[in-house]
C-alpha cells in the first residue's frame, strides 16, 4: 500500500475561533484534525505529524528545515511522498525552497486553504485530499515540489498567490498548471522535465531584503538597506528589469549581490534590448544579476539559499541563469 506522510505547520487550514468571535481565528487544529476520515477513505497509509502551528506570515527557515528533515526521514523509512500543509501567504516561497533543496525523487506536495473550517464551504479538506492524491501518484515522482490547490497542480517554480481571498488564488502565469485532479486521479498535461541539481538546505539565512522600484525612486532606500548590512538584495524592478538613474547609481556601487527581477508578475527580465542608464543591459554591466523568469519572491529564496551555501558571485550568476531560463 502507498504510504504518504503529512506535515502540518499551521495556517488558515488549521484555524478555529478563539475564546470569542471577536478574537478571530487562530491555528488550533492538529494534523490528525485536518485529516479527519480522509485516511480511511483513501487506498493509502497516512502518517501525520504536527510540526508547527503558525500563520504562514511567521514561517521561517528553521521550521522549514525541520520539516524537510522530518520528510527525508519518512522517505528513508519507506514513505512514498510528503504533503506539507501550511498557510497560503508564503506557500509559494515554501514550495520553491523545497523545490531547490528536496533531495529525493519522491514528490513533496504543498497545500493549504483560503477558507478556515468555521466558514461555509471551507476548502481545506478538498485541497488536502488533492494533495494526498498527487503525492501518491507514481507520475508525480521526479517533478520536485508541487502545489495542489483548488484541484490544480502547479510547479513550484511558477506558482504564485494572485488574490488575497479567492479560493482560486494560485496561478502559474504564463506557463499554466502542470495538471489537475479529477475523479480522484491526477491528470498531467506535460511530461516531467529533468530536475535541476539540488542545492543544500538552509536552517538560517542572512538578511536579503526585497525592494520594489516605483515612480520617483531616488535609490535612497536601497542605499540605506545596503549600508544596514544586507548580504544581498533583490530589486523588483519595472518592466523587463529597469530602475531609475538614482537606483542604478546605488547598484553600481553595491559590494554585495544585487538580483533584478520584474515586478510585473509575469514575464522575464531582458538582457540586451534597452541601453539607457538603469536599463537591463546597463545593470548587467554594473554587475547586477538578472532573474530571468523568476519572480522577485522566488529570486529572494534562491539568493538566500545560495548565500547560505557560501557560493561565489560567479556561481550566483550561473545559478540564476540556470534556474531563471525558460528552457531550464
Q: Which of 12, 79, 247, 269 is the catalytic position?
A: 12
Q: Which residue has the cell 518592466?
A: 239
- Positive or negative, the CA dihedral 73, 78, 81, 84 is negative
6-32 burial string, b = 16+ CB within 10 Å, else e?
bbbbbbbbbbeeeeeeeeebbbebebe
Q: Which residue has the cell 487550514?
A: 13
- CB of 7 closer than 8 Å to CB of 34: no
Residue 197 is given by DSSP the state P
C-alpha cell, 100 = 531547490
- CB of 107 closer than 8 Å to CB of 132: no
C-alpha cell, 302 = 534562491
Cα separation, 28 vs 12, in Å, equals 10
Cα separation, 325 vs 194, in Å, equals 14
> Kindly report the CA angle at 57 between 54 and 59, in degrees rounded to 5?
60
* 12 is an active site residue: yes
C-alpha cell, 241 = 528589469
Residue closest to 261 by CA, chosen among 232, 287, 238: 238
- φ, ψ (nearest 5 deg) of residue 43: -80, 60
- Positive or negative, the CA dihedral 181, 182, 186, 187 is negative
Cα separation, 254 vs 91, in Å, equals 31
Residues carrying an active site annotation: 12
Amino acid at each position: 500500500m502507498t504510504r504518504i506522510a503529512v506535515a502540518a505547520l499551521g495556517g488558515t487550514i488549521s484555524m478555529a475561533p478563539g475564546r470569542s468571535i471577536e478574537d478571530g481565528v487562530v491555528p488550533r487544529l492538529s494534523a490528525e484534525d485536518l485529516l479527519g476520515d480522509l485516511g480511511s477513505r483513501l487506498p493509502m497509509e497516512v502518517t501525520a505529524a504536527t510540526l508547527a502551528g503558525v500563520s504562514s506570515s511567521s514561517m521561517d527557515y528553521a521550521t522549514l528545515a525541520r520539516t524537510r528533515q522530518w520528510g527525508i526521514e519518512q522517505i528513508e523509512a519507506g514513505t512514498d511522498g510528503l504533503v506539507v500543509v501550511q498557510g497560503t501567504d508564503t506557500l509559494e516561497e515554501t514550495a520553491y525552497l523545497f523545490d531547490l533543496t528536496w533531495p529525493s525523487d519522491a514528490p513533496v506536495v504543498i497545500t493549504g486553504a483560503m477558507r478556515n473550517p468555521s466558514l461555509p464551504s471551507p476548502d481545506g479538506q478538498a485541497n488536502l485530499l488533492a494533495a494526498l492524491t498527487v503525492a501518491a501518484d507514481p507520475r508525480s515522482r521526479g517533478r520536485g515540489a508541487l502545489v495542489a490547490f483548488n484541484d490544480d497542480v502547479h510547479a513550484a517554480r511558477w506558482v504564485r498567490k494572485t488574490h488575497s481571498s479567492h479560493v482560486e488564488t494560485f496561478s502559474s502565469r504564463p506557463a499554466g498548471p502542470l495538471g489537475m485532479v479529477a475523479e480522484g486521479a491526477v491528470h498531467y498535461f506535460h511530461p516531467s522535465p529533468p530536475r535541476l541539481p539540488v542545492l543544500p538546505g538552509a536552517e538560517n539565512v542572512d538578511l536579503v531584503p526585497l525592494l520594489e522600484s516605483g515612480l520617483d525612486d531616488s535609490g535612497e532606500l536601497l542605499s540605506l538597506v545596503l549600508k544596514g548590512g544586507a548580504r544581498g538584495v533583490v530589486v523588483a524592478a519595472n518592466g523587463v528589469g529597469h530602475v531609475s538613474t538614482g537606483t542604478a547609481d546605488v547598484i553600481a556601487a553595491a559590494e554585495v549581490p544585487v538580483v533584478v527581477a520584474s515586478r510585473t508578475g509575469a514575464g522575464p527580465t531582458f538582457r540586451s534590448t534597452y541601453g539607457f542608464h538603469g536599463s537591463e543591459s546597463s545593470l548587467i554591466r554594473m554587475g547586477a544579476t538578472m532573474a530571468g523568469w523568476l519572480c522577485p519572491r522566488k529570486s529572494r529564496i534562491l539568493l538566500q539559499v545560495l548565500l547560505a551555501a557560501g557560493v561565489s558571485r560567479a556561481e550566483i550568476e550561473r545559478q540564476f541563469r540556470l534556474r531563471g531560463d525558460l528552457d531550464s
